[in-house]
Amino acid sequence: MHGCHCTGQRACAGTYSSVFVGTSLTRCDWKSQLKAGPGWGKWKQSLPNWDIITPIMCFRISINQLELELHHILPSLDCHIAVYSAMFYIIGLGLCDERDITVRGLEAVKSSSRVYLEAYTSILMVQKERLEAFYGKELILADRDMVETESDEILRDADREDISLLVVGDPFGATTHTDIILRARALKIPTRVVHNASIMNAVGACGLQLYNFGQTVSLVFFTETWKPDSFYDRIKDNSDLGLHTLVLLDIKVKEQSEENLARGRKIYEPPRYMSIPQAVSQLLEIEDMRKTGTLAADTTLAVAVSRVGGGEGNERIVAGTLAELAAQPAETFGEPLHSLVIVGKRLHHLEVAYAETFAVNRESWRGVAQSAYGCALDEQ
Ligand SMILES: C[S@@+](CC[C@H](N)C(=O)[O-])C[C@H]1O[C@@H](n2cnc3c(N)ncnc32)[C@H](O)[C@@H]1O
């Protein structure tokens, strides 16, 4: 083929931050010079049939304009042009282990020159080393400070090379990650989100219909002096509409004690994960203060879920009244991470039947569903 021919990598419209030219001409004078250029190995790898692939310029123009320009510069060359836009990826890892990444996510990881692992909003059930071995990449741990206040370091050079940020679950399953996407956009760095399973949808494993959930809330560890209770208003809103509430339980990873924080000492406490009995106790403590009747120990049903997506031996689902859940020993709920679903009054009899398999006490589960929730159930 003679003349320039454009091959848009990843997309053919819009603007691009990096442009690479390849040619099938073995006699091209540029070859040795270009091969020594930055990025050669990477581009050769991603476009294996090309003899030469090299960045020729970094600018932002449309692909049509680019084609015209290069045709003008290289009219006689048998030449292909690849337009490659470097990308900042935020990749969901799913809920369990290294094998939950999607094929698309793994490809992005492999193409990235730096890969960060965000491990403070959620955790996987395996260590970082297992991920590194499977992905074939070294991972840089990104703590809260790095993601929230030092995102420039994560985004460094992301307009010239692929950079990935790995997030447990789905990137939009935590509020933090929209912020870094906005910052990347402000720097005109193209971004792409690779989705995966999240607790926000996998919680359906407990048998309650996702369509019947209202606002999700987060429950933080109370201290003697700090008992934030705004979550209660949202549980009440959901409850007034008859909807279920997914309650995400606090995790503290790489946190400093108040004293160390005040003294500026970078000494971190061991990780802590809120347990189900503690969550129930905090919910009832606030009900006791507010007294709206939204939650009641003996007549509010709830489902505790742990390590959802972790498969047999890992995942635990336990259903009961708040009082029944609070009375269970911690082992009943398995290892963290834990979440709790407060059952809403629009409970459907099929939801009752499905979740009954997880009930601490099936009779009491059905009894409360009938008496407090008005569910019409078949006699058993
Ligand atoms: C801030 S959220 C982040 C969610 C994550 N980005 C996602 O999409 O799944 C973290 C909380 O979700 C809940 N969670 C996450 N994974 C879980 C799992 N596999 N089983 C039960 N709860 C889980 C826990 O309450 C945990 O503290």
State pLDDT tens for residues 167-182.
999 999 987 889 999 9
Which tops the pLDDT comparison, 187 or 198? 198
Domain 88-197 has CATH 3.40.1010.10: yes
User: Looking at the chain, which residues constitute the CATH 3.30.950.10 domain(s)?
Assistant: 201-373
Q: Could you tell me if the CB of 339 is within 6 A of ligand 1?
A: yes
Mean pLDDT of 361-371: 97
Ligand 1: which of 102, 194, 199 to mutate, judged by most atoms within 8 Å of the beta carbon?
199
Reported confidence tier of residue 329, pLDDT bands at 50, 70, 90: very high
Distance 199 CA to ligand 1 centre (A): 5
- Give the pLDDT score at 8: 40
Among 70-79, 113-122, 232-241, which is the least confidently predicted range? Answer: 70-79
The domain 201-373 is placed in CATH, from the list 2.40.50.1020, 3.30.950.10, 3.40.50.920, 3.30.1490.20, at 3.30.950.10
Task: Give the pair of three-digit tokens for residue 199.
Answer: 């607790």
User: Looking at the chain, which residues constitute the CATH 3.40.1010.10 domain(s)?
Assistant: 88-197
Distance 180 CA to ligand 1 centre (A): 20
Q: Could you tell me if the CB of 249 is within 6 A of ligand 1?
A: yes
In ligand 1, the atom with minimum distance to the C-alpha of 175 is 1
Position 11 pLDDT exceeds 50 = no
Distance 371 CA to ligand 1 centre (A): 32
Distance 200 CA to ligand 1 centre (A): 8
Distance 191 CA to ligand 1 centre (A): 24
Q: How far apart are CA 200 and CA 355, in angstroms?
A: 17
- Give the pLDDT score at 148: 83
Among 56-60, 137-141, 270-274, which is the least confidently predicted range? Answer: 56-60
Distance 51 CA to ligand 1 centre (A): 47
The count of other CB atoms within 10 Å of the CB of residue 108 is 22
In ligand 1, the atom with minimum distance to the C-alpha of 196 is 8
Which tops the pLDDT comparison, 374 or 253? 374
Q: What is the pTM of this model?
A: 0.82
Q: Could you tell me if the CB of 306 is within 6 A of ligand 1?
A: yes
- Give the pLDDT score at 174: 84
At 202-247, the pLDDT tens digits run 999 999 999 999 999 999 999 999 999 999 999 999 999 999 999 9
| Amino acid letter, residue 222 | F
Ligand 1: which of 337, 338, 341, 358 to mutate, judged by most atoms within 8 Å of the beta carbon?
337
Kind of pairing, strands 78-84 and 3-9?
parallel
Position 257 pLDDT exceeds 80 = yes
- Give the pLDDT score at 65: 55
Mean pLDDT of 9-18: 38
Position 294 pLDDT exceeds 70 = yes
Angle ∠(254,262,223) on CA atoms, nearest 5:
65
How far, in Å, are 122, 241, 326 from residue 280 at the CA level?
21, 21, 6
- Give the pLDDT score at 188: 81
Among 53-62, 157-166, 359-368, which is the least confidently predicted range? Answer: 53-62
Q: Could you tell me if the CB of 251 is within 6 A of ligand 1?
A: yes
Among 4-8, 131-135, 161-165, 171-175, which is the least confidently predicted range? Answer: 4-8
- Give the pLDDT score at 64: 53
- Give the pLDDT score at 74: 52
Distance 254 CA to ligand 1 centre (A): 17
Which tops the pLDDT comparison, 151 or 277? 277
Ligand 1: which of 339, 340, 341, 342 to mutate, judged by most atoms within 8 Å of the beta carbon?
339
Mean pLDDT of 67-74: 55
- Give the pLDDT score at 350: 96
Among 11-15, 34-38, 236-240, 336-340, which is the least confidently predicted range? Answer: 11-15
Q: Could you tell me if the CB of 121 is within 6 A of ligand 1?
A: yes
Distance 341 CA to ligand 1 centre (A): 13
- Give the pLDDT score at 15: 38
How far, in Å, are 205, 233, 370 from residue 238 at the CA level?
20, 9, 20
Reported confidence tier of residue 377, pLDDT bands at 50, 70, 90: confident
- Give the pLDDT score at 57: 39
3-state SS string for the chain: CCEEEEEEECCCCCECCEEEEEECCCCCCCHHHHHCCCCHHHHHHHCCCCCCCEEEECCCCEHHHHHHHHHHHCCCCEEEEEEECCCEEEEECECCCHHHCCHHHHHHHHHCCEEEEECCCCCCCCCHHHHHHHHCCCCEEECHHHHHHCHHHHHCCCCCCCEEEEECECHHHCCHHHHHHHHHHHCCCCEEEECCCCHHHHHHHHCCCHHHECCCEEECCCCCCCCCCHHHHHHHHHHHCCCEEEEEECEECCCCCHHHHHCCCCCCCCCEECCHHHHHHHHHHHHHHHCCCCCCCCCCEEEEEECCCCCCCCCEEEEEEHHHHHHCCHHHHCCCCEEEEECCCCCCHHHHHHHHCCECCHHHHHHHHHHCCCCCCCCC
